[in-house]
Structure 1
């Protein structure tokens, strides 16, 4: 049985439910987390939420920096590939005797919450970023009210809203991502992409194909999507193929891509051509043999 099948077939009705809130930390542990006591009504709502999610998620797609999923699919990858998520799970898997129950101050401003569903020896972790209303600055501008007996009245009680879905899940050694941007923000995957970019821009195998790599660096900047694309470029490493620059120059002449080259055959990058250069390095600029039309595509799958 695959982890995907096990995740969908997990016995959520019989599982115990444990809620944690967490905040990011600059310490080596990366996160701080607190256990939140819950009643059976809240726990059942969490069970209903995750059951509804797994029913509609019928397909899994291999996770990559630029892959995308839809409502009926999720992105999957090995847990070992996410140091951030491993760090978070370590915080909520501490022995029960060492659990620290959350106080109100811990819920306010929490970065996210995690629900542990445990049945026999198996655990499903479900994680969601908190809504803006959890932030102290936003909360201070709100009036809490309750409607009962046909009348709306102010209440001093603090309220917290939980969404009817989770951003990502983990079972055994597999991560199931439903909301990619929220996942990457929560476990700080963007920092990994940033490091990949920094490594690539000092790699002579890469920089040697350009007259000056700086315009490409300026184009990518700190944009999350461009950083993801750079990671894929690094993984594919098309620029390492013998004669890569010459092949690009030949195709550019035939297809009119609009690229420029210096006297030594190196690519001259600029803001006007950076997007095209990225598509070529990704191998996402494709020619239809049927219509002779050139397309830029978001992702590719070899036939």
Structure 2
């Protein structure tokens, strides 16, 4: 992927650096953002942070609702798939004259911060969810102190902690995610997953394969991981295959999955079978032709 290579080979040393803090908004804009003035020391630390992260990331995988990465990899997807991130980037890309420099009240309680690296015509955006001590309630319970000349003294000055890593990045038209949980929380992706589930449970083509959809709704609830799985189920749409109900009954009998069906052949979901039903809808209950063993897997990659 060209953008992955461009992110790794970007000239961070010569780049200009801008720091922005942002808060979520209930308006159509989704976010409010403020530019924060920084000195050369802070900017140099940001450069070292991103260079270290880039050098440690040498693999990429396609971003899906249930895909996971490790410390040496990231998940990638097209920027067009994240409406909220596009909104945030548009805010920080508007002319600085139209934005107010951040005041102390804007930093307190900020949802996250974005560091913008610019080198020529190229830009890399690095985003991190703020630490808990940025929240006013937490800050009021802290005592700020400095250690100087062998003595620890209280200081009335406000302090803000920046982590030595970022949660996700954007370059050109590609988003590169290092921390999926932080990315989805910051960009409010869970809300979209919930909407997907709500719409799916109203789809007759989906609900018609069950005797009662309520037990499945109770199993999924508001659990973030289950909602991600529902999104994948909706995308794969295995349940729409004409032979799906018959195949499920056949394999259930052959492999003893333990599913139950009503008189019309519809799946009866209960607390004991809900997990199995989800794996079947995901097409994640697989048979090894080598060992003849059945496995439940977290994700799949088609070989052919």
Which residue is 2:121 aligned to? 121
With the length of structure 1 as denominator, give the TM-score of the two structures.
Answer: 0.99
The 5 Å alignment of 1:13-162 reads 13-162=13-162
Is 1:260 the counterpart of 2:260? The answer is: yes
Tell me the CA shift for residue 302 of structure 1.
1.3
Which residue is 1:8 aligned to? 8
The 5 Å alignment of 1:93-242 reads 93-242=93-242
CA–CA distance in structure 2, aligned partners of residues 126 and 152 of structure 1? 34
CA–CA distance in structure 1, aligned partners of residues 119 and 228 of structure 2? 36
5+ residue gaps, structure 2, are none
5+ residue gaps, structure 1, are none
Residue by residue over 1:39-62, the C-alpha shift from the partner in whole angstroms, topping out at 9 and shown as x without a partner, is 000000000000000001001100
Tell me the CA shift for residue 99 of structure 1.
2.1
Tell me the CA shift for residue 291 of structure 1.
1.8
Tell me the CA shift for residue 292 of structure 1.
1.7
- The DSSP-based 3-state class of the residue aligned with 2:51 is helix
CA–CA distance in structure 2, aligned partners of residues 95 and 21 of structure 1? 16
Tell me the CA shift for residue 301 of structure 1.
1.0
- The DSSP-based 3-state class of the residue aligned with 1:175 is strand
> Which aligned runs of 4 or more in structure 1 are off by greater than 4 angstroms?
none
CA–CA distance in structure 2, aligned partners of residues 206 and 148 of structure 1? 66
User: RMSD value over aligned CA atoms?
Assistant: 0.8
With the length of structure 2 as denominator, give the TM-score of the two structures.
Answer: 0.99
CA–CA distance in structure 2, aligned partners of residues 96 and 33 of structure 1? 11
